Amino acid sequence: MAKKEKWVVRDKNKRNVFWPSVEMRERAWVGTDRFYKDAAKNPMDFWACLARDGLDWFKEWKKVYESKPPYFKWFLGGKLNASYNCLDRHLKDKGNKVAIIWESEPLEERERKITYRGLYREVCKFSNVLKKLGVKKGDRVGIYLPMIPEVMVSMLACARIGAVHSIVFSAFSGINFRKRVEDCGAKVLVTCDGYWRRGKQINLKKQADVAAKAKTVKKVVVVKRFTGKDELKLPMRKGRDYWYHELMAKASEDSKPVPVESNTPLFLLYTSGTTGKPKGVIHDTAGYLTQAYWTTLWDFDLHEDDVFWCTADVGWITGHTYNCYGPLSVGATMVIYEGSPDMPNWGRLWKIADKFDVSVFYTAPTAIRMFKKMGCELTKGYDLSTLRILGTVGEPIDLETWLWYFGCIGNGRCPVIDTWWQTETGGTLVNALPGIGPFIATVAGRPFPGTRAEILDEKGKPVKKGRTGYLVFKPPFPPGLLRGVWKNPKKYRDTYWREYGPKVYYTSDGAKWFDKHNIRVTGRVDDVMKVAGHRLSSAEIEDAITSHPEVIVSAVVPKPDEIRGQVPVAFVVLRPGVKPSPEVEASIVKQVRKEIGPTAKPHQVFFVKGLPKTRSGKIMRRFLKSMLVNEKLGDASTLQNPEIVGYLKKVVGYKRK
């Protein structure tokens, strides 16, 4: 591949708008608008064609699409297996191709390179381990692992036998893991002794033990990450806890992939909504995999010699789709990194990108803002000329950050693909494609071919260009879209299909048309915040705070933050007689860490005597949110306690802009 190739050109007339260069357009899988047009004419044929071309099937489907609002199905009656599509079918041509390049945090430890054949063997063995431990088709397996290859092995082993995995972010607390394990009724857990984070050994097994107490849990498999002088002495409970390597040593490599019907759940992923309880988003097999495959291939324009690096943790949907199912189903080589980007300094990621000739790099705005703070010199001494495409995801990206990413990391040569999507959508849905463009700073781009996005006003009418409204999707729904909420059909209906009725998927995001085709997403319109790209709910943090014995009630709202995008700020009413103090504050913060995890800890705590409430007793978080940014406050006359507003203004130091 020619180095220093320029993959973009600047728009002659418009600022901060870029187009693919001739080289990019010629190289790209999608290089003409015809894809969008044809797909729009008949989206079902379009997706059927993609499902057939992209995936290997054991049995062809009988019907492409069926809808019983608010439920829908794709590729009905078809049979396939996700692990077969990620592994077996590549063995003939790419058995020796590297699937995963794993880099550990400590510099002195060597990277691990796992080929498709190597990964296939591990997955087959682990699927037999799971079977021996009693896991059957449809059973749930709770996975609580950091960024080590065994997490992909575990996911694919579940998929191989038709079991449903539910991964919980390893930086979430054991209590949080337990809640999710209890909700989905996991039989087996997969975890590890620990991992490296910022030079510290994190003992994960200790947290996992909290969840292992859940009634449904029968067995716990523990991967050994630390050996030699780093070895952790762990209590292993007899008859319940088993070492991964010991079970694997005895496991057979002979494992037939179980064919499952297209709409069979592949995994659950818990995500935060507007209530205190996270919901288990259900993803199916065929629709999800079709979207994972094609979005990976087209958004990042992956070709045989590419090295793809998505920095997301596997605990989030981005990690599921773009660190496992997407790149593996297309047969790509990907990089995964265990540790923190500042270890031993902020040059670490560029060192890795240089070492492995990364060509596609996908990260979150919060990380880019951090790099930007460190300055453009950050990449000095590292050769990033293999980079061809840059991606971003997770929250709106501001103009300066976009330009910095484009200029300093991409050296003005690579498009920035700003992908909008959600845990619920399974794969990207709104973004520019590398061979089509345009790449417009702060604008996500076009709805993926074959999907129908609209921006509606309160009444359900399409908004005019430039007006903000609510981003929705119309049928046929993207194949990767969630198929339900685990054991909670009401929540599924109420969250996604109530705002505009059961035939319109409501995203909870604000958006506007930048021009005829391109969408700018403005962010969440519900009580969900994005803290360093992590999705957290106000209610969930409030529940954690209120579980503190000295707290009566609390309200948590986001406040803008230069690096993290948003940070949670808590308003807390203490029990009578309890005096506000730094100690009380510290113990409240500790409570949140314990119940949820460090990402959710309040950035600031205001001790107050009351909170703004509606006549029905609902706390008006909107008021508090506006107060923190000195915005105009809404009408206080609808409040039960309007007098509280003046008092709160003083507490936060409100000054109307």
**Cβ neighbours for 9, distance < 8 A, ≥ 6 positions apart:** 18, 19, 20, 21
One residue of 320, 483, 524, 564 binding ligand WT7 per CB under 6 A = 524
Q: Compare residues 523 and 634 and give the one whose CB is closer to ligand WT7.
A: 523
**335 to 354, contacts with ligand WT7 by CB under 6 A?**
none
Whether the CA torsion 52, 54, 55, 56 is positive or negative: it is positive
Q: Which of 330, 160, 176 is nearest to 255 (CA)?
A: 160
Beta bridge partners of 558: 568
Q: Are 225 and 193 contacting, i.e. CB atoms less than 8 angstroms apart?
A: yes
Does position 367 interact with ligand WT7 (CB under 6 A)? The reply is: no
Does position 535 interact with ligand WT7 (CB under 6 A)? The reply is: yes
**436 to 465, contacts with ligand WT7 by CB under 6 A?**
444
| Stretch touching ligand WT7 by CB under 6 A, among 15-23, 46-54, 193-201, 310-318 | 310-318
Does position 509 interact with ligand WT7 (CB under 6 A)? The reply is: yes
| Stretch touching ligand WT7 by CB under 6 A, among 125-133, 164-172, 404-412, 522-530 | 522-530
Q: Compare residues 370 and 521 and give the one whose CB is closer to ligand WT7.
A: 521
Does position 523 interact with ligand WT7 (CB under 6 A)? The reply is: yes
Q: Compare residues 125 and 524 and give the one whose CB is closer to ligand WT7.
A: 524
Q: Are 450 and 46 contacting, i.e. CB atoms less than 8 angstroms apart?
A: yes
Residue 440: both structure tokens together: 């417009």
What stretches of 94-137 adopt beta strand conformation (E)? 98-103, 112-115
Does position 518 interact with ligand WT7 (CB under 6 A)? The reply is: no
Q: Compare residues 394 and 434 and give the one whose CB is closer to ligand WT7.
A: 394
Q: Compare residues 163 and 269 and give the one whose CB is closer to ligand WT7.
A: 269
| Per-residue contact flags (x/-) with ligand WT7 for residues 397 to 436, judged by CB under 6 A | ---------------------xxxxxx-------------
247: helix, strand or coil = helix
Cα 418 from Cα 395, distance rounded (Å) = 9
Q: Compare residues 271 and 386 and give the one whose CB is closer to ligand WT7.
A: 271
How many residues can be counted in the chain? 657
One residue of 317, 387, 441, 455 binding ligand WT7 per CB under 6 A = 317
Q: Where are the alpha helices (DSSP H) in 375-444?
A: 399-404
| Stretch touching ligand WT7 by CB under 6 A, among 13-21, 125-133, 477-485, 523-531 | 523-531
Q: What spatial distance separates the first Cα and last Cα of the chain, rounded to whole Å? A: 53
Smallest gap from Cβ 290 to ligand WT7, in A, equals: 17
Q: Compare residues 219 and 283 and give the one whose CB is closer to ligand WT7.
A: 283
| Per-residue contact flags (x/-) with ligand WT7 for residues 254 to 293, judged by CB under 6 A | -----------------x----------------------
Smallest gap from Cβ 68 to ligand WT7, in A, equals: 25
Q: Are 301 and 435 contacting, i.e. CB atoms less than 8 angstroms apart?
A: yes
Residue 255: both structure tokens together: 């494992």
Smallest gap from Cβ 438 to ligand WT7, in A, equals: 16
Cα 379 from Cα 87, distance rounded (Å) = 35
Smallest gap from Cβ 495 to ligand WT7, in A, equals: 12
Does position 187 interact with ligand WT7 (CB under 6 A)? The reply is: no
Cα 258 from Cα 130, distance rounded (Å) = 14
Cα 81 from Cα 61, distance rounded (Å) = 14
Smallest gap from Cβ 162 to ligand WT7, in A, equals: 26
Does position 393 interact with ligand WT7 (CB under 6 A)? The reply is: yes
| Beta strand pairing call for 452-456 and 469-474 | antiparallel
Residue 151: both structure tokens together: 């997490």
| Beta strand pairing call for 528-531 and 164-167 | unpaired
Does position 320 interact with ligand WT7 (CB under 6 A)? The reply is: no
User: Kind and range of the H or E element at 94?
Assistant: helix 91-94
Cα 639 from Cα 434, distance rounded (Å) = 50
Binding site for ligand WT7 (CB under 6 A): 271, 316-318, 393-396, 418-423, 444, 507, 509, 521, 523-524, 530, 535
